[in-house]
Amino acid sequence: MKRTRYSHERVAGCYEALARIYSRGRIGAAKASQIEEMRAGDRVLYAGVGGGEDALLAARRGVRLSAVDLSPAMLRALRRRLDGEGLAGELIVGDVLEHRAEEPYDLVAANFFLNVFAEEVMLRVLAHLASQVRPGGKLLVADFAPPGQGSTSVCTSARTPARTSAWVHALYYRPVNLAAWALRLCALHPIYDYVPAAARLGLSLRRRRRFRLGRSGPELYESLVFERPALP
Ligand SMILES: C[S@@+](CC[C@H](N)C(=O)[O-])C[C@H]1O[C@@H](n2cnc3c(N)ncnc32)[C@H](O)[C@@H]1O
């Protein structure tokens, strides 16, 4: 299959700052919410890690960190962050579809990464990542939340996710998707609902948390925790 490569090399210096402004910190909050799933000593892979503000939190928690990204500049930024705190991490420059560790991971995180790809490729990447989670391990995904509430999801957050209307999502998401596509940073596509795709791969949804823009704004981001069934 012919595949466009979307590296964020040119925006490595400003990507996280722009994401923070655009989301009023909610992108960072969605990623940070996953850290409680991790225990010291866990083997954790961050796919499409970028500058790795989330991977840094994981390393602080004492996980054995691996991270893969196409962009050397992104990984240099993460290396500087880790070095600054005397933390270790295996950082791999390359295509995630070509990365496979000898042993599966306890956790694999794909944050604001799957949404880079056109749907067909996204499904391949998702399957590839799921296959690298050990039985009983977890796949973590933080990303834009699809409008409304996916009927296949299980919500264990304190309150039921609001039915944020499709037009709010379209107004918020479409222009940025269009701009990123024009800069060749990602494919043009609607917001993905990863829950049905993960279910088809045999992953069960353990937690779905939504994040509002502002105190009472629409729930535009989410953090998903999927589990791969343990062996009988
Ligand atoms: C939208 S950024 C998100 C970065 C980071 N996860 C975050 O939340 O800030 C997507 C990242 O995926 C990387 N990337 C794109 N395609 C990739 C691929 N096929 N394999 C590995 N990394 C890739 C880009 O270089 C970029 O750093």
Mean pLDDT of 137-155: 74
Which residue's entry shows tokens 């500087």? 80
Domain ranges of the chain: 9-227
pLDDT tens readout for residues 196-211: 999 999 999 999 999 9
Report pTM: 0.93
pLDDT confidence of 170, banded at 50, 70, 90? Answer: confident
End-to-end CA distance of the chain: 36
Which residue's entry shows tokens 């990863």? 194
pLDDT tens readout for residues 50-73: 999 999 999 999 999 999 999 999
- Report which protein residue has its CA nearest ligand 1's atom 6: 49
Per-residue pLDDT for 172 more than 50? yes
CA–CA dist 74, 169 (Å, integer): 28
| CATH superfamily assigned to domain 9-227 | Vaccinia Virus protein VP39 (3.40.50.150)
CA–CA dist 45, 147 (Å, integer): 28
CA of 232 to the centre of ligand 1 (A): 35
- Check residues 70 and 161 and name the one with the higher pLDDT: 70
CA–CA dist 184, 116 (Å, integer): 10
CA–CA dist 113, 52 (Å, integer): 12
CA of 62 to the centre of ligand 1 (A): 23
Per-residue pLDDT for 30 more than 90? yes
